[in-house]
Amino acid sequence: MIVDKQIVAILRGITPPESVEQVACLLDHGITTVEITTNSPDWAISLKRVRSAFGSRVQQGAGTVLTPDHVETCAAAGAEFILTPNLDSRVVEAAKRHGLRVCAGVFTASEIFTACELGVEVLKIFPAAALPLNYPQIIKGPLSSAAMFSAVGGVDVNNAAEYLRYYDSVGIGSSLYRPGQPVSLTAERCQILLNAGK
């Protein structure tokens, strides 16, 4: 059964005027963790609007965080965590200084071990579709401490439940939300996701 904290809704391309109504729709369907990416129009404004509208009801993060400057903006805009497509120690260290949790993009064993050494809270396997579904199970053996794994890249509303057999969470982007789509379509896609997990 899929539960809300296992799903990160990736809102790539969302604009400030639609951010609140789209997040409200996700909340109505039990999805409480959202990611607004830095390559979205006026992304910091969207983060602020969502924080103002929903407060602690939403776990809000910024995605595609590539630089320490991005981290500064994330912190000021009310993000609680950051997500990166790659592993960059400068970005991880900047996030730590601001008290932000880090979900860092990794792929290889070397990147995974380095991320753990840097204190990354969640290992974002990206692109997850390029690896076997049970990749976390395979790689966990040599790790000296417990690690959280999130699958991103190739995860959609239809196959999320399969990934959640092996991953702690999944990030779902365009199969859940595309820029400009009506809230009614977001609701339909949320329902497909929730039904697929039953």
DSSP letter string over the chain?
---GGGEEEEETT--HHHHHHHHHHHHHTT--EEEEETTSTTHHHHHHHHHHHHGGGSEEEEES--SHHHHHHHHHHT-SEEE-SS--HHHHHHHHHTT-EEEEEE-SHHHHHHHHHTT-SEEEETTGGGS-TTHHHHHHTT-SS--EEEEESS--TTTHHHHTTT-SEEEE-TTT--TT--HHHHHHHHHHHHHHT-
196 falls in which pLDDT band (50, 70, 90)?
confident
The pLDDT, as a whole number, for residue 1 is: 42
Annotated active-site residue in 18, 48, 80, 124: 124
Distances (CA, A) of 48 to 11, 102, 186: 14, 19, 21
- How many residues are there in the chain? 198
Dihedral angle sign, alpha carbons of residues 126, 132, 133, 136: negative
Q: What is the mean pLDDT of the chain?
A: 94
Q: Is 124 a catalytic residue?
A: yes
71 falls in which pLDDT band (50, 70, 90)?
very high
Angle between helices 68-77 and 89-97 in degrees, nearest 10:
30
Domain at 4-196, CATH from 3.20.20.70, 3.30.420.40, 3.40.50.970, 3.90.960.10: 3.20.20.70
Annotated active-site residue in 35, 80, 111, 198: 35
Q: Are 84 and 104 in contact (CB under 8 A)?
A: yes
The pLDDT, as a whole number, for residue 105 is: 97
Q: Is 140 a catalytic residue?
A: no
The pLDDT, as a whole number, for residue 198 is: 65
Taking the alpha carbons at both ends of the chain, their separation in whole angstroms is 5
Q: What value does the mean pLDDT take over residues 152-180?
A: 95
Domain boundaries defined on the chain: 4-196
* Residue 3 reports pLDDT greater than 80: no
Tens digit of each residue's pLDDT (9 = 90 or more) over 72-86? 999 999 999 999 999
Q: What value does the mean pLDDT take over residues 47-60?
A: 96
pTM score, whole prediction: 0.94
Q: Which residue has the higher pLDDT, 194 or 20?
A: 20
